[in-house]
């Protein structure tokens, strides 16, 4: 069995919003809404624009912190 734990913020600060709006967020609020983004390349481009400090490795793996 696989189990995933999703937290709304490092300390649960987004829990009320997530529960009230039936959403799960993965963080990176500065990246913005990706719901209309249709490709991985478009997501990477958005990350590059909003997080110019991200290393190329993090951009490739999607692990922008």
For 5-18, what is each residue's pLDDT tens digit?
777 877 888 889 88
What gap in Å lies between CA 41 and CA 39, rounded to an integer? Answer: 5
- The chain-wide mean pLDDT, for the chain, equals 79
Q: Which residue has the higher pLDDT, 64 or 47?
A: 47
Q: Contact at 8 Å (CB) between 43 and 54? A: no
pTM surpassing 0.85? no
The token pair at 25 is 């967020």
- Residues in contact with 34: Cβ distance below 8 Å, sequence separation at least 6, in sequence order: 43, 46
Which residues, at least 6 apart from 29, have a Cβ–Cβ distance to it below 8 Å? none
């Amino acid at each position: 069995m696989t189990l995933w734990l999703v937290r709304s913020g490092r300390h649960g600060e987004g829990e009320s919003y997530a529960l009230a709006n039936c959403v799960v967020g993965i963080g990176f609020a500065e990246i913005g809404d990706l719901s209309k983004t249709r490709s991985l390349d478009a997501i990477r481009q958005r990350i590059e624009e909003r997080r110019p400090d991200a290393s190329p490795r993090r951009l490739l793996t999607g692990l922008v912190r």
